[in-house]
Structure 1
Amino acid sequence: MKTARIKEWTYEEFMTLPEGGPYRFEIIDGELFMTPSPTPRHQKICGNLFLSIGTFLRSNPLGEVFAAPCDVVFSRTPLQVADPDLVFVSKAHAFIVTEKNIQGVPDLLVEVLSPSTAANDRRVKLSLYERSGVPEYWIVDPQTETVEVFRLSGGRYADGMEFRKEDTLDSPLLPGLTIPLSEVFPA
């Protein structure tokens, strides 16, 4: 759900928005977006991905993974704040993790589609993440049980690679990680 643009939001104003509750807040290109809390299936898929990546990182300390809600502040002027479902920050970029949020460009962002967020995740956030220089972006579709992977090349995302439920997902950002997607999508 997008609100009417009345004025540009500041970081300080954004930080006064209520935490928790029935909505998650994001500001992209000066517009405030509110999304309802996700469904149990959405959360189960997020949890399965978080568990796969988190377990891998315990044995391979390449960085940290964070689950929503965890704001990523790409810039303060203009204010660009997203709340991806999962965020991976490598050790090389650990300095962007602050006590309140992530201030800068993470290495990998994951969005699990919901009916209320699908168009935004596929267009608005894809554009924001590409412009901001996020090296890798996964769009997880619970309905089709697919993961579309976008990798930055020459400052642009190449066409997305699609992985299906019977495939295994990996990432050059996490060498050695393999995620059987049959374990991600609940029956």
Structure 2
Amino acid sequence: MKTARLKEWTYEEFMSLPEGGPFRTEIIDGELCMTPSPNTRHQEISLILSLAIGNWLGKSPSGKLFIAPYDVVFSKDPLQVAEPDLIFVSKEHLSIITEKNIQGSPDLLVEILSPSTESSDRRVKHSLYERFGVLEYWIVDPESQTLQVFRLVDGRYPAPLEYGKSDLLESPLFPGLSLALSEVFPS
């Protein structure tokens, strides 16, 4: 991930950046982070997860699901903006959704690892999401075909629950949804 800390960014400056460019743009701890668009496998996994959760939400409307590109603004001073792959906001927190982005901490954030983002997703974003109280954070690793679930306990993420290709993933955020990881990581 390329970063640039030329200055402290303001929310207004961030919002003035051009939309739809070839890079995903985030500002974390004052650094402008730009990464290229994800690869095909990443996008396939994102689609599978969003369809599974989206279909469940169609039957059990308990919140809203968003997919990248969509900004999550955790703080405006100092500016902290991330662009997770999937974002879930429960009914109880819908007030954080604005016309342009999410302003606050969603209930679930999902990052699907790419070679250019793995270090940031595992360290920088893990720390950011924990600091701002994201209830669940999933790290999906296409290479090892694993999914790690970090659930906030007393303001911290303890060791993750780790799921493999033969496991079923269940989350208290989606009661009754059993996600077969064999479908997330098809051969």
TM class by shorter chain equals over 0.9
Cα deviations by residue, 1:31-52 (Å, 9 ceiling, x for unpaired): 0000100011100000000000
Q: 5 Å matches for 1:73-152?
A: 73-152=73-152
Could you tell me how far apart the structure 2 residues matched to 1:3 and 1:136 are? 26
What is the Cα deviation at residue 4 of structure 1?
Answer: 3.1
- Percent identity over the alignment? 68
Q: 5 Å matches for 1:22-61?
A: 22-61=22-61
**TM (normalized to structure 2)?**
0.98
What is the Cα deviation at residue 186 of structure 1?
Answer: 2.9
Letter in 1 for 2:59: S
SS in 2 for 1:3: strand
Could you tell me how far apart the structure 2 residues matched to 1:34 and 1:103 are? 20
What is the Cα deviation at residue 108 of structure 1?
Answer: 0.3
Letter in 1 for 2:31: E
SS in 1 for 2:34: strand
Could you tell me how far apart the structure 2 residues matched to 1:140 and 1:2 are? 21
SS in 2 for 1:156: coil
Q: 5 Å matches for 1:7-26?
A: 7-26=7-26
Letter in 1 for 2:146: T
- Count of residues paired in the alignment: 187
C-alpha contact (below 8 Å) 2:4/2:33 kept by paired residues: no
Could you tell me how far apart the structure 2 residues matched to 1:66 and 1:143 are? 24
SS in 2 for 1:140: strand
Could you tell me how far apart the structure 2 residues matched to 1:47 and 1:88 are? 14
Match of 2:180 in 1: 180
SS in 2 for 1:162: strand
C-alpha contact (below 8 Å) 1:44/1:186 kept by paired residues: no
**TM (normalized to structure 1)?**
0.98
C-alpha contact (below 8 Å) 2:138/2:150 kept by paired residues: yes
Cα deviations by residue, 1:29-76 (Å, 9 ceiling, x for unpaired): 010000100011100000000000000000001101100001000010
C-alpha contact (below 8 Å) 2:151/2:158 kept by paired residues: yes
Letter in 2 for 1:108: L
SS in 2 for 1:157: coil
What is the Cα deviation at residue 163 of structure 1?
Answer: 0.2
Unaligned stretches of 5+ residues in structure 1? none
List structure 1 segments (4+ residues) > 2 angstroms apart after TM superposition.
Answer: 1-4
C-alpha contact (below 8 Å) 1:26/1:32 kept by paired residues: yes
